[in-house]
Amino acid sequence: MIEGTLHGLMAITAPVPLGFLCLGVILGVWGGALPGVGGPSQLAVLLPFAMLMAPVNAIAFLIGVTTVGNTGNTFTSVLVAVPGGSGSQATVLDGYPMARKGEARRALSAAFMVSMMGGIIGALVLFGSIPVLKQIVRLFGSPELFMFTLWGLSMIGVLSSGAPLKGLTAGIVGVLLSTIGQDVKSGVMRFDFNTPYLWDGISIVLISLSIFAMPEMIALASRKRRVADVTDLGTTGLLEGIKDGFRHWWLVIRCSVIGCWVGILPGLGSDVADWFAYAHARQTEKNSESFGTGDVRGVIAPESSNNAKEGGALLTTLAFGIPGSTSMALLLIAFVSVGLNPGPEMLKSQIQYVYIIIWALVLSQVLASVLCWAMVKPAARVCFLPFYVLVPIVIALTLLSAFAAHFAMADILAVLALSLLGYVMKLTGWPRAPVVLGFVLGQKVELYLWLSVARYDMDWIWRPGVLAIGLLVLTTLIWPVWTRWRRRGLTVAEVV
Amino acid sequence: MRFAIKDLFTVLVIVVLAAAVFVASAWVLRASIAVLVLGSLGVVLASAQLLIDVFGAHAAGPKRTPVYELPAAEDPDVRATVRGAAEIWAWLFGIVAAIYVIGLPITLTAFVFLYVIAYHGSWRVGLLLSALIAAFIFGVYEEIMHVYWPESYLGGLLGWTW
């Protein structure tokens, strides 16, 4: 095993593969930083080139492109409240307030530090769990996945502590938005208003752009000011951010494990991992009242999980040949086309490539973070640009990203309509994030519930995994009420 | 009893959720169950929120911000902010109208330039930014992604193709 690991390291650090890795990382970070460009669409464009390469070069290039998008997309999440990808939605909640306080450099630096740490932890998990993974994943069927998504939904109530009723209702609105389009179980067209555009449902890209990015840009344009409320960028942010990563090492490890686990479970993905990690941090960290107001822990939690997720996602892709996301499916196609054979067979006859993939994952995380650190200082200046420079650029890019969802004019109309919803929610004090979380989890909850009932009738409720996660859901719901009750001596009615 | 303008949004949420439940009641159960259960729950929760907002005691003290929310900006001049909001929405509706008339790529490039100029930015900055957007549209969307742009009214009239 040690010999194989060393061979893997030597193979990936040879000049040509390393060059392809660097190129992949640059493209991955660039794609992540531009909303709508990165992710599967970027990978799909690059796939034909990768298919012509030697296996080691293709691995280096594709791992570089695929696994660092979540590092690059932190820029826009922190600086202009535009989630660059689905894995950085929760980062907006504390990253953007930090930028407004003049701590953009610290937020970005901390994010890149923990992204690297999370990515490496993900790679270590990939390395260490290959022999035991088969048994663990087999324990997870649709009932357990249903309970897992239910756990995610239960976090809405916990985290909307300033307005629990509004938070839960907003979450329900999100779930109902996710039901738009054709129901795969019955073929019924739901809330389509006889409009073919709605048959496929609304894209998550449109939801996250219009619930977070557009309302913030509209607010910025209305105030006619800059993003940052302060005039100085500060000088210590970069180092402070790196220190934050080490200072909160235990949080990084916990959130990385959450990210890994979510990555392993097919169908959940990074758009859930960051929310789970954020919710976990909010629930378990001390002095959590400062979350949402520019607390660096609110950046650290989602950023460490969304990169660690890549290790978990690669695990199921390589060990079982089951891609957990669109990007992983494309990666699988590329691997097969260059002669690799992802699945149980790969762990026997092509194990040397698995070690190369693990090293490529580690090196790409390090390279991406170094590249992003180099860009922190100039990027943070975005917060000090006048509104008339920032607003038109961000709105133009947002509309282009929205258009890229289906390449239809209706995408633009949908993003504006949803932006109106997001803006009114912002004005009236309704929490917007539960809409996104409800939307992300809504389809999965419905699908896994239906699969569970169809396959096991109602017997699925008594499965040990379901009971265990059910206990977790109950704890998530009751724990914050209990602690508030004990800490402040409030009555139950006051807490609710 | 205190009914504020912002409570109208809560009323709207109740109406929309109730309408969703009503529409879903016509579907087969396997398609409607989630909407029926969650929609009804949403109506109850939003109604409770409305009752609390309208009839509940409005406690003094610091305003509690929902954790899942970005802190609202402190706007010293509300009138100017309202005017600013009206302006930006007018820009957005203008963009939609312009996209139908002259097409998405030209509209966005022109919007960036005009917005900078309208708010007293320099011509040079306006030109630079619109050139950047045009380069992005042409380089990424045209050359790499080969995007098919929806036909505009003028484009159809004059035979423009992208």
* pLDDT for the residue A495: 47
A22: pLDDT strictly greater than 80? yes
At residue A496 the predicted structure's pLDDT band, cuts being 50, 70 and 90, is very low
CA distance A270 to A261: 11
A-facing residues of B in 76-115 (CB < 8 A) are 80-82, 84-85, 87-89, 91-93, 95-96, 99-100, 104, 108, 111-112, 115
Q: Is A190 helix (H, G, I), strand (E, B) or coil?
A: strand
For residue A219, the chain B residues in CB contact (below 8 A) are 73
| Mean pLDDT score, A185-212 | 86
Nearest to B87 by CA among A206, A397, A210, A395: A395
* pLDDT for the residue B22: 95
For residue B67, the chain A residues in CB contact (below 8 A) are 159-162, 282, 291-292, 431
Q: Which of A229-238, A323-332, A408-417 is the least confident region?
A: A229-238
- B138-161 pLDDT tens trace: 887 888 778 888 888 888 888 776
A47: pLDDT strictly greater than 70? yes
Angle at B116 between CA B115 and CA B122, to 5 degrees: 155
**Residue A41 amino acid letter:** S
Q: Which of A37-51, A119-133, A142-156, A303-317 is the least confident region?
A: A37-51
Model's pTM, two decimal places?
0.76
Task: For residue A216, report the phi and psi dihedrals to the nearest 5 degrees.
Answer: -65, -40
B67: pLDDT strictly greater than 50? no
| Mean pLDDT score, B99-107 | 91
ipTM over 0.90: no
Q: Which of A25-39, A200-214, B7-21 is the least confident region?
A: A25-39
* pLDDT for the residue A235: 61
**How do beta strands A181-182 and A189-190 pair?**
antiparallel
B9: pLDDT strictly greater than 80? yes
* pLDDT for the residue A331: 83
Q: Which of A397, A404, A416 sits opposite B92 (nearest CB)?
A: A416
At residue A266 the predicted structure's pLDDT band, cuts being 50, 70 and 90, is low
A300: pLDDT strictly greater than 70? yes
At residue A156 the predicted structure's pLDDT band, cuts being 50, 70 and 90, is confident
A233: pLDDT strictly greater than 70? no
A168: pLDDT strictly greater than 70? yes
Helix, strand, coil content of chain B in percent (nearest 5): 70, 0, 30
**Residue A484 amino acid letter:** R
How many CB atoms neighbour CB A397 within 10 A?
Answer: 23
* pLDDT for the residue B71: 47
**CA-CA distances (angstroms) from residue B87 to A220, A278, B98, B127?**
12, 35, 16, 22
Question: Structure tokens of A122?
Answer: 């993900």
Share of chain A above pLDDT 70, in %: 86
- A312-327 pLDDT tens trace: 888 877 877 777 666 7
- On whether the CB atoms of residues A442 and A180 are closer than 8 A, the answer is no
Which one is predicted more confidently, A112 or A441?
A112
Using the structure block, give the residue that is written with the tokens 């807490």: A495
A-facing residues of B in 115-144 (CB < 8 A) are 115-116, 118-121, 125, 129, 132-133, 136-137, 140-141, 144
- On whether the CB atoms of residues A211 and A77 are closer than 8 A, the answer is no
Q: Is A271 helix (H, G, I), strand (E, B) or coil?
A: helix
Task: For residue A182, report the phi and psi dihedrals to the nearest 5 degrees.
Answer: -75, 130
Q: Which of A192-206, A332-346, A391-405 is the least confident region?
A: A332-346
Find how far residue B58's CA is from the centre of its chain. Answer: 30
Which one is predicted more confidently, A41 or A273?
A273
* pLDDT for the residue A180: 93
Q: Which of B31, B68, B119 sits opposite A93 (nearest CB)?
A: B68
Q: Which of A96, A160, A190 sits opposite B67 (nearest CB)?
A: A160
| Mean pLDDT score, A437-461 | 85
